[in-house]
Amino acid sequence: MNGKVSNLHVAWLLPSVFFYWQPALTALAQWFSETTVLTTRWYGQMPEHDSALNVKLVGNVKVLKLGESATGYGSEFTYVSPKVIIPLLQLKPHVVFSNSFGVWTILALLFKPLGNWRVIIAYEGSSPSVDYRNSPLRLWLRRFMVRLADAYITNSQAGQRYLTEVLYAAGERVFVQPYEVPDPNALLGNSGESELDQQPLKHPVFLFVGHLVSRKGIHLLLQACAILQKQGCENYSLLLVGDGAQRQELEAFSQAHGLSDRTHWTGRVEYGNLGTYFRKADVFILPTLEDTWGVVVQEAMVLGKPVLCSDRAGAHEMIIAGENGYVFDPYQPEELAALMHRFIDDPDLSRIMSQKTQQTISANTPEAAAEFMAQVATFAWGDRV
């Protein structure tokens, strides 16, 4: 599977294409000029990627909440238009990548004999709320889909174990490599002066980027800060980038525990401006209670930031303890507080770890992700290339 090939027609079925997808998909088009993305939502970010990709918008997406969860994703059903099969048949791709086990993947598999294409299921990663290990019906359906598919890609070892051990996918058809990877140029695209330039921040600066919702575990991060407060440790800043339903509650907790002078709430920031905030930080923290992957960990790493990562995030597999960060149990705020204390006590620690962090992430580029997908596509199509 070495060397570039260009005669395959490739389609990607992605209900929503977020910013971090675009560089890798653009690079994939360098391998296969006939690459088309079918989606309901295209978040245009970088003009060079928008013009380089063939993108077709198909219908709308609706997420139906079936149950809420304070610690995970909750139960939901994502509806996407079945009309996607019409442009897919018109495209006549050789290989179809389809995201997860949704309606579009079912359609791609059912119409495979008619379209004479190969189907590759992309499974981001494993986590309790999305694995449905306790749902016999969903497991049966997924196992049936796995039997019909030709190959599978996943970001993580946990995703590989789920595919092989739970869904019984053939091990030789499961390929593991981060394919959801960020591009530092996209993060720094609009970087310039920000309101942070007017604020004196005590170093080290700990950074969180994401939705302010209970699943992300920010309340436990603030509990860790309250523990540091009781220990008389105040020489740091906490920068929180994002917005969400829990913000008011979190700000109230911060005020009640005397943390207001070192916690800074920026609200939502455009993707191309995030690089400014990463550069202001010394350490990135992801205290999530559930994330199948966690691209934000890689976003921090490509900009040279050591990471304190929850063991509930799939991306924790990228952390080498003591070299580019540490992994912790988010339900143990004392553990997180102790790790933060290390960086507060040793001002050089984040700088020392920064070089190792960039070495760790250096191989995970959009170009590498595209080559990985190209190789799997070539494998799935077989000797027909």
Closest CA to 339 of 350, 330, 328: 328
The predicted pLDDT at position 1 comes to 42
Number of neighbouring beta carbons within 10 Å of residue 44: 12
Encode 253-280: b = buried (16+ Cβ within 10 Å), e = exposed. Answer: bbeebebeebbbbbeebebbbbbbbbbb
Distance of alpha carbon 142 from alpha carbon 100, whole angstroms: 10
Q: Torsion over CA of 50, 53, 58 and 60, rounded to 10 degrees? A: -40
Distance of alpha carbon 203 from alpha carbon 305, whole angstroms: 14
The enclosing H or E element of 152 equals strand 151-154
Q: Binning pLDDT at 50, 70 and 90, where does residue 20 land?
A: confident
Does residue 35 surpass a pLDDT of 50? yes
The predicted pLDDT at position 198 comes to 65
The predicted pLDDT at position 2 comes to 45
In the chain, what percentage of residues exceed pLDDT 90? 76
Enumerate residues 6+ apart whose C-beta is below 8 A from 354: 304, 305, 306
Mean pLDDT confidence for 329-355: 96
- pLDDT: is 19 or 165 the higher one? 165
Q: Binning pLDDT at 50, 70 and 90, where does residue 69 land?
A: confident
Going from the N-terminus, what domains does the chain have, and what CATH number goes with each? 10-181+365-384 (3.40.50.2000), 185-361 (3.40.50.2000)
Mean pLDDT of the chain: 91
Return the structure tokens found at 95.
Answer: 């290989």
Does residue 120 surpass a pLDDT of 90? yes
The predicted pLDDT at position 99 comes to 95
Written as one letter, the residue type at 315 is: A
Does residue 373 surpass a pLDDT of 90? yes
The predicted pLDDT at position 195 comes to 64
The predicted pLDDT at position 257 comes to 95
Q: Binning pLDDT at 50, 70 and 90, where does residue 192 land?
A: low
Closest CA to 242 of 272, 266, 262: 266
The predicted pLDDT at position 68 comes to 66
Stretch among 81-90, 180-189, 328-337, 340-349 having the lowest mean pLDDT: 180-189
Q: Are strands 54-57 and 35-39 parallel, antiparallel or unpaired?
A: parallel
**Residues 135 and 170 sit within 8 Å (Cβ to Cβ):** no
The pTM (predicted TM-score) of the whole model is 0.92
Closest CA to 121 of 191, 52, 169: 169
Number of residues written out for the chain: 385
Does residue 50 surpass a pLDDT of 60? no
The predicted pLDDT at position 169 comes to 98
